[in-house]
Chain A
Amino acid sequence: MEEVSARFVAQKISKARWRPLPAAALQPPDIFATGSWDNEDNRLALWAVGELGSGEYLGEPQLLCDIGHDGDVMDMQFLDQERIVVASSTGSVTVFRHHQNNQTLSVNQRWEKAHCHVDQDTSCGGAACTGVICNNPEIVTVGEDGRINLFRADQKDAVRTIDNADSSTLHAVTFLRTTEILTVNSIGQLKIWDFRQQRNEPSQIFSLTGERVPLHCVDRHPNQQHIVATGGQDGMLSIWDIRQGTMPVSLLNAHEAEMWEVHFHPSNPDHLFTCSEDGSLWHWDTSTDISEKPSFLHQGGRSTAYLSHNTINQSVVCAWLNNDPTKDRMEITNLIPNQTLSVNSLDVLGPCLVYGTDAEAIYVNRQLFS
């Protein structure tokens, strides 16, 4: 049975991220960061969970330190073990440093107007920075103004800015390769941008079939770089193969409302996690070794959808691409028993899952695959 610890934190959580583990680490992650939104005084906080060094077991996540943040936390990512990059609804991007000796957070660097509307005289309101992705030391940000910025940590000015990269809002960004990024926007397009090229045009554009439903999140398969998953406003999960065609390979009807985040598990990419405005968090499992997991089949009290008919010898080709519901076996589990408000964010690392909701609570599950 899984063990979920919860904590009410008196602020709506917009993002939750595990601190990355050092390369050779064996133990599960124990520190995560959360960002809040919709408060007059938003905060970025660091929490500890699991066992402290002294071996004493912490039931609930414990607050290590926090710091005020100007504007809603729109997106967040750890740059390295000590620095966190946070995107704000005011259009600024801030790098915070966590001082481990005295457990405090401080501002390391800030780019104030990373995103803003061009014509300041006629513009109406600010432009939020909606997505941030890091590949130390490079930081890429996208925003409501349709701009893409490439920053380098410790450099004051942007290395590269693509103005008006998109006529609509860019919702999320992720790295495809070290010099290429993927963005999704609010007219249902997935674009690849190559920073080696000087022109300010995407190198490829993919779009959904049918209705141009806005896409909210994107993630790339950790090992196979041509496989990309996106989540849309209608809750649909799309899997794309960017080597071929301009349309998604499979469309899976998932949630009943906007899908906010999609994550491939970094070390077990047969597992995918999505969370949504309808308050559910789904675990998609295409690994075929069902015999090793009898627990999944006998769980009561969770809704388990089971799409399969017969088992196939899975070849080396990725299960996600072969995803034909009539042939392949995929298990989808809702990890939240009684859902109320939106689950805004999730993160998985190793056996641990953390997610934050609009009901002002954070939940940690440290035994995801038991």
Chain B
Amino acid sequence: MEEVDVEPPLVVVPGADPACRQLCFEWGPAEVLVCETRFDRGGGGDAAPGSSRVFVVRRDQDIYIQTLRKLFNESHGIFVGLQRCEEELAGKSRRAQLVQVSKNYRSVIRACMEDMHRAAAATRDPALHSQYSTQVSILSAMELIWNLCEILFVEAAAAGPLLLRLLDWIRLHVCDVDSMVREVLSSENPSKHKLFWNVVDVFVLQGRMDEARHLLSKEATANPTSMSMYKILDDLMMKMPVPNLGNTQTLTELELKWQHWHEECQRYIRDGTFASNPHMESICKILGGDENAMLEKKELLTTWYHFLVTRLLYSHPTVKPMELHFYAQSSMDLFLGEENSPEPLDTILMAAFEFELHQVIKECSIALSNWWFVAHLTDLLDHCKLLQSHNLYFGSNMREFLLLEYASGLFSHHSLWQLGVDYFDHCREYGRVYLELHIERIPLNTEQKALKVLRICEQRHMHEQVRSICKIMAMKALRNNRLGSALSWSIRAKDAAFATLISDRFLKDYCERGCFSDLDLIDNLGPSMLLSDRLTFLGKYREFHRLYGEKRFSEAAKLLLMLMTAHIAPCSFWMTLLTDALPLLEQKEVIFSAEQTYELMQCLEDLTAGKPDKQKLLVDDVETMKVEMLRLALARNLARVIVKEGTLEGS
């Protein structure tokens, strides 16, 4: 067993007190059942054992949050779309497609964040408010990490565009300063605002040169004495070479231009051109790549990764992806200093900068309480062909493992199980087995839900599960005396044994009451009659009654005989059939031919002779009388028919 990465969190189960009752527990698919046993401790013999309570301890609270359901549903749609989309596209177009998928996921996260934010603002319950706020911050952290992974892994931005993407990333996610920026920009005289220089610094730190220059121009018009200094600074900012996306310049060209510009900055610093204005001087130092100057603006940077990107912008704009981790580590150390230790988010981002995909996924799994994020991210990275398929020690690869865990979590939810089905479908190794096991355990409280589950099983050719679900529903129907429903379930499962059971039930009812119940069902069996022999017999027997009722006696007779001789009728029923033959034998008109009468006699003999030991049948008076009457009727019929048949041929 490997070592535990983090200390397991302690969960207190309210109401469960190990001091007064001994507790036992059992693992479920996504939860732990804790229940009180009958052994009680303490309190001597006074404690009367009451009823035991069962506690269900769920690890994953998130799937029960209403606002997150939208996240699960929309991401399910994106996931299924990704699995289904064409693999033929290669190279750039495939990459563009995957980047689009990644952006879709991110916009779903953002939409969910906004909903959660609105819910937090709308609620008055402080506990709920704090829960929502926590969720908002978790979601924004997820989006931050996802965005970085998109830049580094999915899009795999090369040196040059990499910096631009990182700048966008920073601008999107460092928003603590936004309100300050808005305040200054909307004030009447921005340059007189006390936070004016802070805002200019923010713009410079984020590489927003145009906006910085715009603000500075306002300052310049207000303060003509520093006009010359302003002009130099403005010029410097304007000339700053940045990588562009248009591929119009090569990396070496950019490198060259940038070196040139950098030296110019350094020259101005050495000459002390901006010495009279400390604000401008610090800006120039920043432009020249001075880390200490940047670190002085810690509150404006707010995070070490902002510091990293600013540093890269002003000292190594042509940084290659593989070189990132050097700068990342040192940036984090410099920014956090000695006293602060990195938080989980920082470790994850660092792992991303180091291109340690597995580490990223592992850290995210530990930090987050729900498998949603890692499952979808890993699936996307797998589509980018970035995960080597090294097998984990229990057989499946990482992507599949995470998807299985996530989908199993969905199945423990009363409603989201339908989403889980599609996830299992796309796990090649164990998906089907997991689905088979989970789908049988979904509670089926209405027929409509059972139909949906059955459809899922049938589409995947899970015949065992179809049979078992249909049997459960048919048994329920049978207990409720809904014989038609029970029959329709056994037809769906093509379950002959159950159909036989239902037919026996009908026949039993008939024997007890002397008439059929549910005639609308038996009369309209149609081709499903052939499902089981007993069912066929039931249908034919009913037909016999109908023919008799319509006075079509010879057809009825033929049918009756056929039922016995073709062994469609169960042996237990032969007595009843023979008794049904009595009125036909006693008719004025002769119905049974000689041949048929002989066959009937044969049947009777078979019936009575077949049970030598079970004399109880014949001991019963009624039975004996019946047999006697039958023998008599058969003999009389035989006599009449021989005469009749003999006579016709004569004249």
Contact = CB atoms under 8 A, between A and B. Distances in A.
Given A39-B414, A258-B455, A144 B447 contact: yes
A280 interface: no
Contacts of A74: 446, 448
Given A74-B446, A360-B73, A168 B414 contact: no
A89 B445 contact: yes
Contacts of A123: 479-480
B415 A205 contact: no
Interface string B65-107: 0110110011011001100000000000000000000000000
A169 B69 contact: no
A10 to B, nearest CB: 4
A145 B488 CA distance: 14
B73 A207 contact: no
A189 B452 CA distance: 21
Interface in B361-419: 414-415, 418-419
A168 B487 contact: yes
Contact of A166 (B66, B77, B484): B484
A81 B445 CA distance: 32
A117 B477 CA distance: 10
A24 interface: no
B224 interface: no
Contacts of A340: 76-77, 80, 422
A72 to B, nearest CB: 6
Nearest to B71: A8
A341 interface: yes
A63 interface: no
B437 to A, nearest CB: 20
B66 A10 contact: yes
Contacts, number: 140
A26 interface: no
Contacts of A361: 73
Contacts of B447: 128, 130, 144, 169, 186
B593 interface: no
B526 A145 contact: no
A215 B347 CA distance: 58
B69 A167 contact: no
B451 A258 contact: yes
Contact of B526 (A11, A185, A202, A212): A212
Nearest to A40: B414
Contact of A10 (B70, B491, B521): B70
Most chain B beta carbons < 10 A, residue from A37, A122, A186, A211: A186
Given A187-B488, A189-B520, A359 B76 contact: yes
Chain A interface mostly? loop
B66 A72 contact: no
A73 B446 CA distance: 11
B480 A145 contact: yes
Interface string A118-159: 110011110110100000000000001110000000000000
Interface string A192-236: 000000000010010110111010000000000000000001000
Interface string B481-493: 1111101100100
A145 B482 contact: yes
A283 interface: no
A207 B524 CA distance: 8
Contacts of A144: 446-447, 482, 485
Nearest to B73: A360
Contacts of B485: 144, 146, 167-169, 186
A64 interface: no
A12 interface: yes
B449 interface: yes
B423 to A, nearest CB: 12
Contacts of B418: 12, 341, 358
B133 interface: no
Contact of B414 (A38, A169, A205, A358): A38
Interface in B45-79: 66-67, 69-70, 73-74, 76-77
B111 to A, nearest CB: 9
Nearest to A167: B484
Given A117-B481, A122-B479, A167-B484, A212 B524 contact: yes
A169 B73 contact: no
B223 to A, nearest CB: 47
A54 interface: no
A162 interface: no
A211 B455 contact: no
Contacts of B452: 277, 342, 358
Contacts of B414: 38-40
A39 B455 contact: no
A291 interface: no
A359 B520 contact: no
Interface residues of A, number: 54
Chain B interface mostly? helix
Interface in B486-529: 487-488, 491, 517-518, 520-521, 524-528
B543 to A, nearest CB: 16
B476 interface: yes
A349 to B, nearest CB: 25
Nearest to B518: A167
B480 A167 contact: no
Interface string A93-136: 00000000000000000000000011100111101101000000
A341 B479 CA distance: 33
Interface in A57-106: 72, 74, 89
Contacts of A242: none
Contacts of A310: none
Contacts of B483: 167
A72 B446 contact: yes
A257 interface: yes
Contact of A202 (B77, B451, B520): B520
A168 B521 CA distance: 8
Given A10-B69, A168-B488, A257 B455 contact: yes
Contacts of A342: 452
Contacts of A299: none
Given A38-B415, A212-B524, A340-B80, A146 B422 contact: no
A65 B21 CA distance: 46
A338 B524 contact: no
Contacts of A89: 445-446
Contact of A189 (B67, B524, B528): B524
Most chain A beta carbons < 10 A, residue from B73, B81, B419, B487: B73
Nearest to A361: B73
Interface in A167-201: 167-169, 185-189, 191
Contacts of B526: 188, 207-208, 210-212
A262 B318 CA distance: 63
A119 B520 contact: no
Interface string B443-482: 0011111011001000100000000000000001001111
A214 B449 CA distance: 15
Contacts of B480: 117, 119, 122-125, 127, 145
B486 to A, nearest CB: 8
Nearest to A233: B451
Interface string B199-234: 000000000000000000000000000000000000
Nearest to A206: B524
15 contacts: A8-B73, A10-B66, A10-B69, A37-B449, A72-B448, A128-B447, A144-B446, A144-B447, A166-B484, A169-B485, A185-B484, A202-B520, A207-B524, A210-B527, A277-B451
Nearest 4 CB-CB pairs, A to B?
A168-B484, A167-B484, A167-B518, A10-B69
Interface of A: 8, 10-12, 37-40, 72, 74, 89, 117-119, 122-125, 127-128, 130, 144-146, 166-169, 185-189, 191, 202, 205, 207-208, 210-212, 214, 233, 257-258, 277, 338, 340-342, 358-361
Given A10-B73, A144-B482, 11 more contacts: A10-B69, A38-B414, A39-B415, A72-B448, A125-B476, A146-B485, A169-B485, A187-B488, A257-B459, A360-B73, A361-B73
